[in-house]
């Protein structure tokens, strides 16, 4: 067992696994600990936005995700409202028709259950070298200027180990013991209600009457009841309903009682209902989840970072929770990697909170708005387009930068925004500009922007260089002699519409600013031979 690791990840859900995966992709050794003996079987999140699919495309998981999907491309999520699933008519939530961003992306919506996604993430993270330890719990930690010192306990044997890490990423959920130990407060309405959930096998097709339902928000047997399809035949479901933990406990929800609740929700008194275990190797059939809305006041404390539900949580309406947490992990991993490799200044890590916390606040408001429209009463701000929330958010470019979300179709290379998708050809292959990003800074120069390409070759930090066609340059808001710098996470760091008198100074300063290095700008050096220098034409 190692006694030191660059990064310790706490929590083996979708966000923790994604963090470990992207660290491993960047060549950063890490150890992930998860207190459960295995991954949950509960589907939880049931879909990935096109932006999240772009993120997983960087590590070769786009096609495996689509192969494991529960529906074909073009699937449309269909929420309905009713008293019971057998109602003669369903209401549809009063929400505007929304653009999820697929039209501005090489990727489509990914209809996959979180449990299946987590298996793909676990396998890929291990393949790339991440060390994942299940049934292992973080029982205490301290930190100083040099390291985080963590005590890990094997829950099978009781054995303990002290592990030092340069950094700790807490992806340990809604209650986040790490966040509580750090004393980080939260903003937002806080807990709204508590729900119990179960995976059930029950043939509810008689209630559906041939209708397509992805998730039903029901009033029976009590408000805040849902039935969510878990197959494409209407015979396996996720059932959930609110309860008050002050007067009820999960132990009160026996198989027989849950079966009666499902029958009442479907208004099918004689249907057979069977509960399935939710954790492999156990008989745990009922889980409880707090449903609330809160965002941590800080995403960083010293060498510890919060991600996913540890940093923010909101109602699951809209499916924005897991997707936002995945983007947290993607944002943080490349920054940890470049600081670890000595290519970026430590201050780069401060931008994680500065960029991701405003996204958390924006998304919490939109999740509350959707929760109000589907389950009532109305709450939260006015709805804005889903694609603007999931893909069009903007990181602040300077102290007075505009952070108003954009529609996906309006993304055109503005600093602080996701770089736009444009078709390109590389070595005879038809790709997207998004396929150029992932591990290093990338310079895109217009077809006559040769001075920018030469300048990038003379910097002391690896920068991939691509001259693009006039059409691609236009998609990025560039003249034919302009250039822009894109970060490893695919967000635009810097943009110059046209040429400048001293491209080395301009680009060097842009690189130093993007990486929070102390030098005024990177010093010129001799061009190098680099196999990643293929031009996109």
**Active-site annotation holds for 352:** no
Q: Which of 274, 290, 306 is a domain's end point? A: 290
Q: Are residues 203 and 181 in the same domain?
A: no
Strand partners, 140: 151
Q: Are residues 201 and 335 in the same domain?
A: no
For residue 532, the model assigns a pLDDT of 40
Alpha helical stretches, state H, 93-152: 114-127
Domain-embedded: residue 102: no
Write the burial class of residue 488 (CB in 10 Å: 0-12 exposed, 13-18 middle, 19+ buried): buried
Q: Are residues 171 and 309 in the same domain?
A: yes
* Residue that has been written with the tokens 């008689």 in this structure: 206
Q: Are residues 145 and 175 in the same domain?
A: yes
Domain-embedded: residue 232: yes
For residue 378, the model assigns a pLDDT of 60
Q: Are residues 181 and 54 in the same domain?
A: yes
Say how far residue 4 (Cα) sits from the centre of its chain.
27
Q: Are residues 37 and 177 in the same domain?
A: yes
Distance CA 520, CA 522 (A): 7
44, 115 Cβ separation under 8 angstroms:
yes
Spell out the residues 6+ positions from residue 127 whose beta carbon is closer than 8 angstroms to its own.
none
Q: Are residues 215 and 273 in the same domain?
A: yes
Residue 212 CB neighbour total at 10 angstroms? 11
Q: Are residues 430 and 496 in the same domain?
A: yes
Phi, psi of 83 (to 5 degrees): -75, -50
Domain-embedded: residue 249: yes
Residue 109 CB neighbour total at 10 angstroms? 23
Q: Closest by alpha carbon to 496, among 509, 478, 520, 521?
A: 478
For residue 96, the model assigns a pLDDT of 59
81, 361 Cβ separation under 8 angstroms:
no
Distance CA 411, CA 484 (A): 14
pLDDT tens for the chain, 537 residues: list them: 669 999 999 999 999 999 999 999 999 999 999 999 888 777 677 789 999 999 999 999 999 999 998 877 666 667 888 999 999 999 887 665 567 788 899 999 888 889 899 999 999 999 999 999 999 999 999 999 999 999 999 999 999 999 999 999 999 998 999 999 999 999 999 888 888 999 999 999 999 998 888 889 999 998 889 998 887 677 889 999 989 888 999 999 999 999 999 999 999 999 999 999 887 777 889 988 888 899 999 999 999 999 999 999 998 877 899 999 999 999 999 999 999 999 999 999 999 999 999 999 999 999 998 887 776 666 567 888 889 999 999 998 766 667 889 999 999 999 999 999 999 988 888 999 999 999 999 999 999 999 999 999 999 888 999 999 999 999 999 999 999 999 999 999 999 999 999 999 999 999 999 999 976 564 445 455 444 443 333
Radius of gyration of the chain (CA): 24
Q: Which of 290, 308, 328 is a domain's end point? A: 290
Distance CA 434, CA 429 (A): 14
Domain-embedded: residue 412: no
288, 245 Cβ separation under 8 angstroms:
yes
Q: Are residues 317 and 366 in the same domain?
A: yes
The CATH number linked to 225 is: 3.30.9.10
Q: Closest by alpha carbon to 91, among 297, 374, 335, 473?
A: 374
For residue 91, the model assigns a pLDDT of 86
Structural domain span for residue 233:
189-290
The CATH number linked to 37 is: 3.50.50.60
Structure tokens at 85: 């699933």
Q: Are residues 125 and 139 in the same domain?
A: yes
Stated as kind and residue range, the H or E segment containing 353 is helix 350-375
Spell out the residues 6+ positions from residue 510 whose beta carbon is closer than 8 angstroms to its own.
485, 493, 494
Distance CA 99, CA 109 (A): 11
Domain-embedded: residue 456: yes
- Give me the sign of the Cα torsion angle 408, 410, 416, 421: positive
Q: Are residues 50 and 135 in the same domain?
A: yes
Q: Are residues 113 and 18 in the same domain?
A: yes
Domain count, the chain: 3
Distance CA 34, CA 133 (A): 6
**Beta strand 131-134 pairing with 225-229:** unpaired
pTM: 0.88
For residue 53, the model assigns a pLDDT of 96
Domain-embedded: residue 380: no
82, 218 Cβ separation under 8 angstroms:
yes
Distance CA 467, CA 179 (A): 45
Structure tokens at 232: 């494409």
The CATH number linked to 495 is: 3.40.30.120
Distance CA 373, CA 397 (A): 33
- Three-state DSSP state, 112: coil
Half-sphere exposure of 444 (CA within 13 A, CB side): 39
Q: Closest by alpha carbon to 117, among 210, 46, 204?
A: 46
- Give me the sign of the Cα torsion angle 524, 334, 434, 427: positive
- Select which of 167, 217, 395, 437 is catalytic: 217
Domain-embedded: residue 284: yes
Domain-embedded: residue 352: no
């Amino acid at each position: 067992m190692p006694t030191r690791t660059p990064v310790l990840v706490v929590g083996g859900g979708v966000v923790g696994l994604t963090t470990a995966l992207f660290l491993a992709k960047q060549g950063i050794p890490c150890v992930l600990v998860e207190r459960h003996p295995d991954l949950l079987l509960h589907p939880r999140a049931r879909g990935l936005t096109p932006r999240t699919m772009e993120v997983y495309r960087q590590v070769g998981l786009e096609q495996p995700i689509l192969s494991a999907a529960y529906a074909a491309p073009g699937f449309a999520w269909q929420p309905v409202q009713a008293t019971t699933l057998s109602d003669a008519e369903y209401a549809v939530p009063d929400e505007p028709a929304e653009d999820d961003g697929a039209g501005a992306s090489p990727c489509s919506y990914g209809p996959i259950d979180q449990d299946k996604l987590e298996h793909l993430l676990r396998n890929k993270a291990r393949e790339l070298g991440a060390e994942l330890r299940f049934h292992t719990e973080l029982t205490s930690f301290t930190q100083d200027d040099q390291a985080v010192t963590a005590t890990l306990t094997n829950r099978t044997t009781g054995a303990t180990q002290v592990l030092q890490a340069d950094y700790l990423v807490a992806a340990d959920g809604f209650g986040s013991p790490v966040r509580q130990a750090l004393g980080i407060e939260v903003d937002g309405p806080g807990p709204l209600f508590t729900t119990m959930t179960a995976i059930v096998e029950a043939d509810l097709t008689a209630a559906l009457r041939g209708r397509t339902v992805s998730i039903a928000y029901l009033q029976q047997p009590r408000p805040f009841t849902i039935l969510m399809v878990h197959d494409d035949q209407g015979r396996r479901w996720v059932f959930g309903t609110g309860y008050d933990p002050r007067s009820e406990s999960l132990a009160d929800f026996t198989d027989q009682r849950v079966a009666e609740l499902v029958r009442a929700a479907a208004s099918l008194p004689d249907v057979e209902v069977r509960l399935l275990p939710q954790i492999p190797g156990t008989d745990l059939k009922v889980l409880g989840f707090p449903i609330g809305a809160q965002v941590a006041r800080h995403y960083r404390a010293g060498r510890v970072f919060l991600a996913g539900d540890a940093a923010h949580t909101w109602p699951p309406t809209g499916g924005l929770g897991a997707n936002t947490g995945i983007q947290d992990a993607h944002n943080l991993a490349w920054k940890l990697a470049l600081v670890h490799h000595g290519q970026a200044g430590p201050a780069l890590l401060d931008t994680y909170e500065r960029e991701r916390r405003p996204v958390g606040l924006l998304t919490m408001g939109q999740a509350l708005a959707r929760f109000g429209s589907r389950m009532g009463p109305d709450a939260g701000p006015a709805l804005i387009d889903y694609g603007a929330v999931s893909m069009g958010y903007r990181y602040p470019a300077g102290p007075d930068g505009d952070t108003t979300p954009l529609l996906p179709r309006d993304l055109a290379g503005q600093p602080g925004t996701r770089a736009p998708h444009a078709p390109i050809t590389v070595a005879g292959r038809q790709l997207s500009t998004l396929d150029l990003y992932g591990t290093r800074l990338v310079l895109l120069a217009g077809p006559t922007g040769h001075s920018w390409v030469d300048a990038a070759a003379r910097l002391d930090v690896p920068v991939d260089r691509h001259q693009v066609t006039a059409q691609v340059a236009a998609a990025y808001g560039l003249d034919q002699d302009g250039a822009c710098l894109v970060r490893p996470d695919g967000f635009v760091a810097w943009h110059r519409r046209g040429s400048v008198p001293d491209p080395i100074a301009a680009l060097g300063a842009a690189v130093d600013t993007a990486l929070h290095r102390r030098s005024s700008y990177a010093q010129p050096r001799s061009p190098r031979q680099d196999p990643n220098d293929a031009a996109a034409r």
